[in-house]
Each structure stands twice: as structure tokens, then as C-alpha cells.
Amino acid sequence: MNYTKYTLETPILYSQTAIEFSINVTNIQLNKMAYIHVCLHDDRGSVIDNRFFTLEGEEYTLWQGDEYLIEWVRNKL
């Protein structure tokens, strides 16, 4: 089956709260930039949203380890 959207007879309303996030560096151009994929998770660990960021310029230069990247993402969120 192909990816097609179908209309609901009755809209479904729901509310979700993200309590944690995970980081996946999807692509790096050495000494230039990195593409960052962030998943937001609910209290059951389920992914409820995805965000995409580009780490570049001075921010990329400052990236020396995991803690920097974690805080950088936390500030973006």
C-alpha cells in the first residue's frame, strides 16, 4: 500500500507531553556542519515528535563532546 492520507469520519483529539529526548547525528560534513535528528519521547518511551537541526559555524566548532551536543539540543527545544 502506498503512503496516502485518508480522512477520518470524526477527528481524534489527544494531548501528549514529551519528557525526554534522544539524539541521532545523521550526517557530518567534517569541519563544517552536522545534521541532527532529535526524537521527543513521552513517559512510556514512545516517540511523539521529531525535530531536525543543523549544527554549523561557531556552534559546530564548539562541539567537542556529547555534553555540548546534549545542551545545544536542550536549548534548541
For every one of its 77 residues, what pLDDT tens digit does the chain have, with 9 covering 90 and above? 677 777 878 887 778 999 999 999 999 999 999 999 999 999 999 999 999 999 999 999 999 999 999 999 999 99
pLDDT reported for residue 15: 86
pLDDT reported for residue 1: 64
pLDDT reported for residue 7: 82
Give a yes or no: residue 8 inside a domain. no
Rounded to an integer, what distance in angstroms lies between the CA atom of residue 23 and that of residue 10?
Answer: 35
Phi, psi of 53 (to 5 degrees): -135, 155
Give a yes or no: residue 43 inside a domain. yes
Give a yes or no: residue 58 inside a domain. yes
Sheet containing 33-41: give its strands across: 20-29, 33-41, 47-56
Give a yes or no: residue 56 inside a domain. yes
- Residue 60 sits in which domain range? 20-76
The total domain count for the chain is 1
Give the start-end residues of each E strand in the chain: 20-29, 33-41, 47-56
